[in-house]
Amino acid sequence: MKQLFINIRQLVGVQQPAQPLRGEALGQLPLLENAYLQVVDGRIASFGAMSEVTTDMLHEASNIIDAAGRLLLPGFVDSHTHLVFAGTREAEFVLKLQGASYAAIAAAGGGIHSTAAKVQAASEDALYEAAWQRLQALMKTGTTAIEIKSGYGLTLEAELKMLRVIQRLKQTAPIPIKATFLGAHALPKNFADNRDAFVDALIQHWLPKVADEGLADFVDVFCEAGFFTPEETIRIARAAAALWMPAKLHVNQLQVSGGVQAAVAVNALSADHLECMDEAAIQTLAGSNTIGTMLPTAAFFLRLPYPPARQLIAAGAALALASDYNPGSSPSGYMQWVLALACIQMKMTPAEAINAMTINAAFALQLEEEVGSIAVGKRANLLLTKPMSGVDFMAYAFGEQHIEQVYINGLPV
């Protein structure tokens, strides 16, 4: 099947970098004016100036999409989500509005533990159906590759159940999905008085079981005070690496925790959150191959400081953006809102933010050969905007729906 996009006002993100973008390169978003793009069997086959379109290309196309006045750009890559969960937590939302902190709600039995109880009680089919509905909604708003974590099980059985749901989503969804085992999300209640025993169980029993069933691509640890220490995080990440599961770690969300240093020490693929950063953490991240993934919607929802994007960019860190979609601290996977917050609150340029949520996010999932930019051979996971002047308008007019049509493997969603 051959499709042809013609008269594209701007074809955005025309690049295939060998490494994640950082520093000045993050702000460079290559594009072609008045362009075409050809799709063959769901992959980008060619692109270029409209003057290069031949009569044969027009005749051979089974579908021609006239994109006059519109932008065509790579689909969003959401590299940090908790899409599989049961129930919602709007009651805790009200408590937060009344002044309760995230840590206080968790200490009172809310937060992660409240969702875990619902996940433990839910059937695999129920979890799958709810996650499938969420995923379909996200695809329609522009998410064309995604990471999904476990972590709301807090028992081996429930964690495996969540990972099997993600496995089913991988098998049925038309977009790339990566699974992350977040067994170390919170301390299970039955280990409340013996955290060393839990870490030992996680390393000696849980991780091998996950690896034996091939259920996870990555491992994650919630490295924060009251959850897991940098030392515990390093132990777990190294055990997972021995089982061919690289680390993608929650760090420095609630305080300067040493989590960034732990992530770099284990050569983590990404260090995620970064709301609380000191100069040592910034320089450690910038001097590493670890991608810093910022989650501005979580900071917005929890009224936390935003990650210091400008300082991180100036230091030379490789950065990605993601939604952190979850029921407690970021109950939205709307990536256009991530884009707006990154620009308005974190002072990223639209070009920097688009790169961070496309090609750099693809690197953060080891999907850079499949998605994240306009390059021959990549999946035709594309966003066709409404008529507009350029990508700057997408961040500037933050309350609007700017995507006219999402294409996944060349097909409209």
Alpha-carbon span 223 to 252, nearest angstrom: 8
Six-digit token pair at 127?
A: 């979890």
Characterize the bridge pairing of strands 270-273 and 248-251.
parallel
DSSP string covering 246-286 = -BEEEESSSS--SHHHHHHHTT-SEEEE--S--HHHHHHHH
306 is in an annotated binding site: no
Alpha-carbon distances of 157 from 57, 163, 226, 264, 308, rounded to whole Å = 54, 10, 24, 31, 38
Beta bridge partners of 74: 382
Which are the contacts of 399, defined by CB distance < 8 A and separation ≥ 6? Answer: none
205 is in an annotated binding site: no
Asked if 245 and 267 touch (Cβ cutoff 8 Å), the reply is no
168 is in an annotated binding site: no
Six-digit token pair at 368?
A: 């850079």
Alpha-carbon span 162 to 157, nearest angstrom: 9
324 is in an annotated binding site: yes
79 is in an annotated binding site: no
Q: How many CA atoms lie within 13 A of 402 on its CB side?
A: 26
Q: φ, ψ for residue 225 (rounded to 5)?
A: -60, 135
How many CB atoms sit inside 10 A of residue 77's CB?
Answer: 33
82 is in an annotated binding site: yes
**Which residue, 342, 377, 378, is CA-closest to 357?**
342
253 is in an annotated binding site: yes
Which are the contacts of 11, defined by CB distance < 8 A and separation ≥ 6? Answer: 31, 32, 35, 37, 47, 71, 72, 73, 374
Q: φ, ψ for residue 290 (rounded to 5)?
A: -75, 130
Q: Which long-range contacts (CB under 8 A, 24 or more apart) does 239-246 make?
A: 239/203, 239/207, 240/181, 240/207, 241/266, 241/267, 243/207, 243/208, 243/210, 243/211, 244/211, 245/181, 245/207, 245/210, 245/211, 245/216, 245/217, 245/218, 245/219, 246/218, 246/219, 246/366
Residues making up the annotated binding site for Zn(2+) are 80, 82, 250, 324
Residues making up the annotated binding site are 80, 82, 89, 152, 185, 250, 253, 324, 326, 328-329
Residues making up the annotated binding site for 4-imidazolone-5-propanoate are 89, 152, 185, 253, 329
Residues making up the annotated binding site for Fe(3+) are 80, 82, 250, 324
